Amino acid sequence: MMRPQNRGNSQPRWLFPFVVTVIFCLSVLPLGRLAATGIMSAFRGGASELLSDPGLWRSVYDTLSTSFFGMIAAVVLGGGFALLLTLFDIRGKALLGFLFMLPTMIPPQVTALAWIGMTGPSSALLKAIGLAPPLGSPQPLYSIGGIALLYGAQNAALVYLSLRAGLLALPRDAVEAARLSGASSFQVLKDVILPLSLPGLAAGAAIAFVSCVGNFGIPAILGIPAGIYTLPTLIYSKFAAFGPRTFADISVLSGLIAILSVIGLMVEARVLRGRDYRVIGLSGQVAVFRLGAWRWLAELLLWLTIFLILAMPLIALVASSLAPAYGVPLSPATVTIKAYEEILFRQAATRIAFTNSLSLSLATAFGLLVVTVLTGYFLVRSKSRFVGLISALAEIPYALPGIVLAVAFILLFAAPIPVISISIYGTIWIILIAYFSSFFAVSLKPVVSAFRQLDPSLEEAARLSGAGFARRLADIVVPLVAPAAGASVILVFLIACNELTVSALLWSAGTQTLGVLIYNLDDSGSFNIAAALSVLVVIMVIAMMVVLELMAKRLPKGVVPWRS
């Protein structure tokens, strides 16, 4: 027997079909197409040739080893920061936390360029201070260790956030009870806090691992010159050397990445499930331990780390951008802003890339907002039993590495769209659709948390006042979620503007993005121009993060990703 649908609910009849269509187009269709191609090529036996290729297994091994060591580095860095900043009386916590988040928000290809500028025989910075190794000595970062180190620096903040969330959720009375039982600070730390925060650490490690597996910018810049191919860069190189089996190969390869990621995400979900103690007792305020005489040492260590993983590479990046050419020592006599003039005023390619990235990011941020406001409204207000499934499907494209999604969209749009027979392959539209799919979850999350905080009676009062759906959306709902919507726009813009992985596979002449341009400039040897462009990107990232930081007080909890 069908229960009559409750028409007392506030959603118009078209909302459910609309949400289902959006989710189908942005999540089910591309991933389904990828899975179908992967399975088909496996059945036709095409995969066996690929799977018997030792190069593939070499690449799987390199992916796993770089990701594993990267995860270890991220756990050491991020775990140390989370413990010290959350549990101890360190001064300048807010600033340290903010600075520690920066490497994650800086695009990986920029991170890679910055570190290259800091090491090796051609470093403008090292040459300027006379510490550069002799010419001909190898660049130490072009190695498994170098890639893993950068993975660690890039993803340490993920571990930091996850462990910190776990530590902040610790019930304070558990700590106080242990104290009253006679435990010393150290015993409390060892016997209560660390065991209870272990799930947070494990979950953070799992996310960091997934993020390493899917990273493209770092292994593309550091690995390819040394002949090290991770799975994402292997896809890229197979795609660049286009052949008859390319589609089958890349669908199998991205299937492998997807499997590795799903394993990581399942580990994360599993360890976090044990975190039920959140509801027991008061939480939110962690007891702070005094470090006493050790405090200055801890602070020194923290600032030194920030200096090494953030300040130094950025200084090196600026130094490279001011050098007249790659390998020329930087000195007051040689310093020049030619590279900046070049990108800002001379090169058509940079202008095109700027235009493309800015318009793509703006269109994605604002276009997605319209979709996510409606979807978020549906997810929070609806009592439909599909809500869980729909929110899971909305999350998947963002959880999977961008390269997987890019391959899915290539497969989907390689042939002209049936019925209307228009091909969007090679145009900017395919990148736009892939961005919509990829950043849907980023845009949705702040909006959903704002909706959850909204008292339903505010909308019910508007209904009784006579306002229909569109009217109360415009007058009541949207103004009330506006701060979160603003944060959503900035976040999507920030991530889309710096994105490389998706567009690296989807761009063609005239549609290159900033990420692609930086990579291509470096690839073609224009290191100083790539560095200058990267400096501009970093400035933009920091500016937007500061804006979000300033907005943070007016936003619902969890909207600004680096605030907990």
Residues with Cβ within 8 Å of 287's Cβ and at least 6 positions away in sequence, in order, are 87, 172, 175, 176, 179, 188
> Angle, to 10 degrees, between the axis of helix 402-413 and the axis of helix 428-453?
130
Nearest distance from C-beta of residue 482 to other proteins, angstroms: 8
Separation between Cα atoms, residue 323 and residue 526, nearest integer Å: 11
Please say whether the beta carbons of 160 and 204 come within 8 A: yes
Nearest distance from C-beta of residue 419 to other proteins, angstroms: 37
Nearest distance from C-beta of residue 530 to other proteins, angstroms: 46
Nearest distance from C-beta of residue 1 to other proteins, angstroms: 8
Q: Report the residue number, 33 or 472, with the smaller CB distance to other proteins.
A: 472
Print the binding letters for residues 175-194 with other proteins: x by CB under 8 A, - otherwise: --------------------
Q: How many helices (H) and strands (E) does the chain have?
A: 27, 0
Give the CA diameter of the chain. 85
Separation between Cα atoms, residue 390 and residue 140, nearest integer Å: 46
Residues with Cβ within 8 Å of 196's Cβ and at least 6 positions away in sequence, in order, are 166, 170, 174, 277
Nearest distance from C-beta of residue 379 to other proteins, angstroms: 19
Closest CA to 320 of 347, 340, 344: 340
Question: How does DSSP assign 204-217, residue by residue?
Answer: HHHHHHHHHHH--H
Q: Report the residue number, 348 or 464, with the smaller CB distance to other proteins.
A: 464
The site for other proteins, by CB under 8 A, has a size of 23
Print the binding letters for residues 98-137 with other proteins: x by CB under 8 A, - otherwise: ----------------------------------------
Closest CA to 158 of 242, 92, 70, 226: 70
Q: Which residue bears the tokens 């994105």?
A: 499
Q: Report the residue number, 421 or 457, with the smaller CB distance to other proteins.
A: 457
Q: Report the residue number, 7 or 91, with the smaller CB distance to other proteins.
A: 7
Rg (CA), the chain: 25
Beta-carbon neighbour count of residue 422 at 10 Å?
A: 10
Q: Report the residue number, 312 or 551, with the smaller CB distance to other proteins.
A: 551
Q: Report the residue number, 118 or 481, with the smaller CB distance to other proteins.
A: 481
Nearest distance from C-beta of residue 475 to other proteins, angstroms: 7
Of these, 4, 54, 227, 418, which contacts other proteins (CB under 8 A)? Answer: 4
Please say whether the beta carbons of 189 and 242 come within 8 A: no
Please say whether the beta carbons of 117 and 313 come within 8 A: yes
Site for other proteins in 473-532 (CB under 8 A): 475-476, 479-480
Nearest distance from C-beta of residue 469 to other proteins, angstroms: 9
Print the binding letters for residues 6-25 with other proteins: x by CB under 8 A, - otherwise: xxx-----------------
Q: Of the listed pieces 123-131, 144-152, 403-411, 456-464, which binds other proteins according to CB under 8 A? A: 456-464
Q: Report the residue number, 362 or 467, with the smaller CB distance to other proteins.
A: 467
Q: Report the residue number, 378 or 398, with the smaller CB distance to other proteins.
A: 378
Query: Which element (helix H / strand E) includes 188?
Result: helix 185-188
Separation between Cα atoms, residue 374 and residue 97, nearest integer Å: 34
Print the binding letters for residues 457-476 with other proteins: x by CB under 8 A, - otherwise: xx-xxxxxxxxx--x---xx
Site for other proteins in 426-455 (CB under 8 A): 455
Nearest distance from C-beta of residue 463 to other proteins, angstroms: 4
Q: Report the residue number, 464 or 509, with the smaller CB distance to other proteins.
A: 464
What residue ranges bind other proteins (CB under 8 A)? 1, 3-4, 6-8, 455, 457-458, 460-468, 471, 475-476, 479-480
